[in-house]
Homo-oligomer: A and B are copies of this chain.
Amino acid sequence: MLDYKKIIEKYSPTLEERRKLENISNKVSASISSYCHENAINAVPKVVGSFSKDTNLKDGDLDIFIAFNRSYSEEFMEHEGLKIGHAVLPDAEERYAEHPYVSGKIDGIKIDIVPCFQIKFGEKKISAVDRSILHTEYVNEKLSRGQHNEIRLLKIFMKSAGVYGSEVKVSGFSGYVCELLVIAFGSFSNVIKKFSETKGKFIYPDNREEFDSPVVIIDPVDTGRNAGAAVSPENLSKMKLASKLFMRNEDESFFRIERPEKATVYRDRGTCIKIFRVPKPDRTDDVVYPQAVRLKDTLFKIMNEFNLEPVSFEIYIDNYVEILIESRMCKSNMINVRKGPPVDIDNAIEFYDKWISGIAARGPYIIGENIYVDIETEPMDIEKLVRTNINKYSIGKNLDIYRNSIEIIDMPRDGTRMKILDRFFSKSIFD
């Protein structure tokens, strides 16, 4: 039998950490209150996030919202909100997610101070962040005593399975979703059982089939919203498989957040591995990551167009945005089969006229409903193909400027280690 108490203890904040968070949040809240009082601003501090719900793991952050009266304009709320943030949190930086906020540190604890509007259950939401306060209220009202640690257990399990976190880079389950799951099914083991038995999409409550996402978990404070929308198909699959494996063999290894660095061997795979690198734009991961994915998709498209047969990839964002692509071939063939229009449309005649003159390597000829032609091109390597074709595609606001200066790196053969290669070669289910 697993010693759940020990597992929870290992990853929960110590009494000391709890007190420290308590002190800091009280102090910051008090500062906000007095600032508002002195400046006659109708706004109140609200501690939100996992700490406020007693579902936090150790080494967590603090999230403190400043809830403005709804009579203020959005501009006022944002502008004054930032001012209050700076006043109560020295040396804070301004950040921008859906709204601007400030982020800083006190005594080593990261604190985000986020202005928002105060809303009540059922009221029309004004901004996405406004909901957070309701989430905290809902969870605190619904959770019974023992369930806080059930939630911690679920979070540890999900972290260990690599599916925890709703940021785009992870596309997994958020802390709030963990809370909703335990509220819905009662305990950690019931949640695991549920995932191990689920076929296809995960939907709760199960009559809500109108959403497209693989995971649908209706947000009780805004019942038109899917709180599980961020979860990717891969992460649902991982969670199902992890749950099945755990049901079969309840083992401590399912609660291991830190992984030992594996000494990954870079094998020769007989394929072509290239790393494409651009500087990381000064934006949050949630902004950069989708653009990195689009860069990867674009590189795949180009390589597919010239039949280099890309087969796998890895994305790694650090100081750089790096995309690794493995393809079956390093050079394009001399012959490309070009599919022309179907004979039913008038363009077919144009296509025929163009290629019948003898400039084709073969054809035109017909397969099924379409005309085809084989054309001869000089064989081109990946680098040349990418450089000559990348400008046809838009990769996204912040990466487009780097399109013409992509660094293209061969897989090093001299033992040089790269994080993205470590990731690629150690790819496994739950990392």
A357-368 CB mask vs B (1 if < 8 Å, else 0) is 000011111111
Residues 202-226 (chain A) with a chain B CB within 8 angstroms: none
A240 within 8 A of B: yes
Q: How far is the CB of A248 from chain B (nearest CB, A)?
A: 7
A241 within 8 A of B: yes
Q: Which candidate, A13-21, A59-67, A96-104, A231-239, is the interface stretch facing chain B?
A: A231-239
Cα A99 to Cα B343 in complex, Å, equals 38
A307 within 8 A of B: yes
Cα A269 to Cα B307 in complex, Å, equals 14
Which residues of chain B come closer than 8 Å to A344, judged between CB atoms? Answer: 198-200, 240
Which residues of chain B come closer than 8 Å to A233, judged between CB atoms? Answer: 368-369
* Contact, CB under 8 Å: A241 / B311: no
Which residues of chain B come closer than 8 Å to A352, judged between CB atoms? Answer: 241, 245, 429
User: Given A233-B368, A237-B366, A337-B312, A270–B349 Cβ distance below 8 Å?
Assistant: no
A30 within 8 A of B: no
Cα A348 to Cα B271 in complex, Å, equals 27
A170 within 8 A of B: no
A267 within 8 A of B: yes
Which residues of chain B come closer than 8 Å to A362, judged between CB atoms? Answer: 425, 427
A309 within 8 A of B: yes
Q: Which candidate, A124-132, A176-184, A316-324, A327-335, is the interface stretch facing chain B?
A: A327-335
* Contact, CB under 8 Å: B237 / A334: no
* Contact, CB under 8 Å: B425 / A368: no
Count residues of A near B (Cβ-Cβ below 8 Å).
Answer: 51
* Contact, CB under 8 Å: A363 / B328: no
Q: How far is the CB of A67 from chain B (nearest CB, A)?
A: 41
Residues 292-315 (chain A) with a chain B CB within 8 angstroms: 307, 309, 311-312
Which residue of chain B has the shortest Cβ distance to A365 in the bound complex?
B427
User: Given A270-B335, A334-B268, A425-B362, A349–B248 Cβ distance below 8 Å?
Assistant: yes
A-B residue pairs in contact (CB < 8 Å), sample of 26:
A198-B344, A199-B344, A234-B366, A237-B369, A238-B343, A238-B366, A240-B344, A241-B349, A241-B366, A241-B371, A244-B343, A244-B349, A245-B352, A268-B334, A269-B334, A269-B376, A270-B379, A271-B334, A271-B335, A309-B309, A311-B337, A362-B425, A364-B429, A365-B427, A365-B428, A365-B429
Binding site for B on A (CB under 8 A): 198-200, 233-234, 237-238, 240-241, 244-245, 248, 267-271, 307, 309, 311-312, 328-329, 333-335, 337, 342-344, 348-349, 352, 361-371, 374, 376, 379, 425, 427-429
Given pairs A234-B368, A237-B369, A245-B349, 9 additional interface contacts (CB within 8 A): A234-B366, A237-B343, A237-B366, A237-B370, A241-B348, A244-B343, A269-B361, A269-B376, A352-B429
